Each structure stands twice: as structure tokens, then as C-alpha cells.
Amino acid sequence: MKIAIVCYPTFGGSGVVATELGIALANRGHEIHFVTYRQPVRLELLSNRIHFHEVHVPEYPLFHYQPYELALSSKLVDTIKLYGIELLHVHYAIPHAYAGYMAKKILEEDGIYIPMITTLHGTDITLVGNHPFYKPAVNFSINKSDVVTSVSDDLKQKTLDFFDVKKEIEVIPNFIDKTKYSLDFTDCQRSLMAEDNEKIVTHISNFRKVKHIPDVIHVFNGIQKQLEAKLIMVGEGPEKEHAELLCEQLGITDKVVFLGNSNEIDRVLCFSDLFLLPSKSESFGLAALEAMINRTPVISSNTGGIPEVNIHGVTGYLSDVSDVDDMVKNALKILSDDAVLAEFKENAHQVALNFDIKNVMPLYEALYEKAYKAHYNSTY
Ligand code: GMT
């Protein structure tokens, strides 16, 4: 099938899921066309089955805001016509579902009908999407999608609670590709980051407020008071500067490394002993799943879709949002005993295997087939 994928090309989870899905679909023989404003960060190789079409928004001084949705709709129309695209899959409702629907309607004028799948990822529903400024447009575009998917049961429920959705929402979780993680990969270079007696604690995110970055620092502070440890912070975002300042105030700067954005998170996770994800809300928590497949247990908040991934007492622990003391207590339970740590590491890996792309991709493919057939039957 020829599929156009619209996503954010950045380090955010929705872009990562869209990119990895596109690559996997191409490996299964589909022809994939990414349409976005920059080459997605996880998309390293283009091929005859993976294409990238850049959306340009020409600067014009009259416009206070440059109209990205308009440029995206136009690019979609052109790409779909030129390459004979059969299905459109948009990731993140804002503004992608809206722009996708416009493209669909424009194409209909030329007698071209194309089904659109919208995947809801989280903040497009929980934070941004239900803001009164956007809500009517988001509600409309969800209902106008031919198929709607969400990445967790919790996000499905929130979408039904916040919006007036008339469509069935299919839950398809985030995934990993287990073939990328084999036991014989030993080149972790752990010694570059920590001494042998130090435990390595890691956090990876886009450092937005929703991630509760100060909680990450406070939890680590509690851990390092009890045992030798290092904290590795991966990512960039608005809360980073404050986090650096907080480390200085707590006198732990020599124990915390800020790495910035990285394409090598598996390398970092490979030598990590614990992953911290104390977010205020999290529709799934792809970062936690990526930690788990790398044998890193997770200390997280008990919010959103996280409990669907991080199993309390098995792959890590869940605490109430902002309950830093409980997170410290749970972290120490895992880190203080090497046998317990080894058990949690193995459990984390085993549970993560349930989310292997081999199990998840057929769910998307089945929906594509269904959407394509339904669309075809209703239009011809
Ligand atoms: O985590 C982020 O802030 C990035 C965000 C995004 O939209 O790119 O991630 C969301 O989508 C991911 C992929 O489906 C989920 O794993 C994340 O949990 C979700 N983030 C939030 O809900 C905060």
C-alpha cells in the first residue's frame, strides 16, 4: 500500500512512533511517504520505499503567524496526486488531522478519495487539544477521521471524556523493535559515565513542565544520599535551565550529567540501572518502554497510560504524582540490593517484549485494510 505519514519530526514520542512505524511498514513492502517540515530525527535512511517530502512555509511579512496547516494541506494534495498515495496516516491531532481533512476535501474535487487514520498521542488531547481555543477544531477533525487510534486505554477514555467523539477509538500501544536489542550488545562504555560502585539513574524527555523535572532531581537527590549514584539527563527543553540551577542549589552538580538531545538513547539506557518518569500526565510513556527493553526498571508516577506499561512491583514502581518520598523509597528498594536489581531488570525486559513491533504493526495494517476497503466500498 502507498501510505503518506504526517508527524512532528522532532524527538517527541509521537514523531518517534510515526517514524519507526513508517520504517517497519516499508520493511514489510509498503511505500511510505513522510510529509513534514523537516526530516524526522529517527529517519536516517531514505530508500525507494521511504520518501520524505518537506513542507515549506514561505515567510510573508503580512502574516503575523505563518500558515503551516495551509502549506501542509497543499503539500499533501500534491504528494497524494503525484505518487498515487492510497492512505493517509496522521500522528498527533493538532494540526495534522485538521490539515489532513482539508487535503481530503480538496482531493475529492478532483474525484480522488483517500481514507485518513488519526493517531492520538496524548498532549493533543490532554493538554493542548482540549484548550477552548482549539477544542472545536480538534473535535471536528477527530470525528471526520475515517479511523481513530489512541496509544493507551487511558487516552481513549480521556478522549471520550473531554470530547464529543462519535467514532470508535481503537487502542494501539506504542512499541519497540526487539531485534534492535540483543543480549550480546556489550559495548555500553559504562565506565565513561560512572565508577563501578555508582548506580546510574537516567531521565529522558523534552523537559517540558508536564514531565515534572524538579521531581526527577529531588528523587535523585534522595537516592544519592543513601548510595553512590550518578544522574544522566537526556534531552532539551524549557525546564532544563531550572533543573541545572536546582542541582547547583542542592550541591549535586558533580553527580548530574546533562547530555542534551541524543540519537543514542539506547546506549545510555543500556548502562542505566534505573529510569525516572515522574510526569504529571503521560498518555503512554514511550521513554519508559524504551528503558524497559534496555533492561532498566522504571520509577514513575501512577498517571495516564503509564500503569499499562510499568507494572508496579514487577518492572518498577508507581507512586502518586509528586510523591517524591515514595519514589525515593521505591528507587532504593531496587537499587540497594543487586539481586533485586537484577530481577527487576529482567522483568522490565520481559514485559517490554509484549510491545514488540511484530505484535503491534499487524494491528495498524488490519486497520489500514479495513479503512481502505470501507472507503473504497462507500465511494465506488
Ligand atoms: O512526551 C512528550 O511530551 C512528547 C509527546 C509527543 O506528542 O510527541 O509524547 C506523547 O506521545 C508519546 C507517543 O505516543 C507517548 O508515549 C507519550 O506518553 C506522550 N506524552 C504525554 O502524554 C505527555
- 178-353: what fold? Rossmann fold (3.40.50)
Question: What is the Cα–Cα distance from 360 to 137, expressed in whole angstroms?
Answer: 29
Predicted confidence at residue 8, as pLDDT, reads 95
* 285 contacts: CB under 8 Å, gap ≥ 6: 174, 277, 279, 300, 304, 305, 306, 309, 310
**Cis-peptide, bond into residue 58, ω within 30° of zero:** no
Q: Which atom of ligand 1 is nearest to the CA of 155?
A: 22
Q: Do 15 and 44 meet the contact criterion of CB atoms below 8 Å apart?
A: no
Cα 103-369-174 angle, rounded to 5 deg: 85
Same fold, 2-175+357-379 and 178-353: yes
Element spanning 8, H or E: none
* 283 contacts: CB under 8 Å, gap ≥ 6: 120, 121, 122, 123, 125, 126, 150, 151, 152, 154, 155, 158, 304, 305
Q: pTM of the full predicted structure?
A: 0.94
Report CA(283)–ligand 1 centroid distance (Å): 6
Report CA(285)–ligand 1 centroid distance (Å): 7
From first to last of its 380 residues, the chain has per-residue pLDDT tens of 999 999 999 878 999 999 999 999 999 999 999 999 999 988 877 788 999 999 999 898 899 989 999 999 999 999 999 999 999 999 999 899 999 999 999 999 999 999 999 999 988 888 777 788 899 999 999 999 999 999 999 999 999 999 999 999 999 999 999 888 765 555 577 888 888 899 999 999 999 999 999 999 999 999 999 999 999 999 999 999 999 999 999 999 999 999 999 888 888 999 999 999 999 999 999 999 999 999 999 999 999 999 999 999 999 999 999 999 999 999 999 999 999 999 999 999 999 999 999 999 999 999 999 998 887 667 65
Beta-sheet pairing, 256-260 with 2-6 = unpaired
Report CA(184)–ligand 1 centroid distance (Å): 30
Predicted confidence at residue 379, as pLDDT, reads 63
Q: Which atom of ligand 1 is nearest to the CA of 151?
A: 14
Report CA(14)–ligand 1 centroid distance (Å): 6
Read off φ and ψ for residue 182, nearest 5 degrees.
Answer: -115, 155
Q: State which of 10, 261, 284 you would mutate to test the pocket of ligand 1, scoring each by most atoms of that ligand within 8 A of its C-beta.
A: 284
| Spans of all domains in the chain | 2-175+357-379, 178-353
Ligand 1 binding pocket (C-beta < 6 A) is 12-15, 17, 92, 121-123, 151, 174, 206, 208, 210, 281-286
Beta-sheet pairing, 116-120 with 87-91 = parallel
Instruction: Count CB atoms within 10 A of the CB of residue 287.
Output: 28
- 2-175+357-379: what fold? Rossmann fold (3.40.50)
Q: Which atom of ligand 1 is nearest to the CA of 304?
A: 22
Predicted confidence at residue 44, as pLDDT, reads 76
Report CA(97)–ligand 1 centroid distance (Å): 17
Question: What is the Cα–Cα distance from 45 to 30, expressed in whole angstroms?
Answer: 15
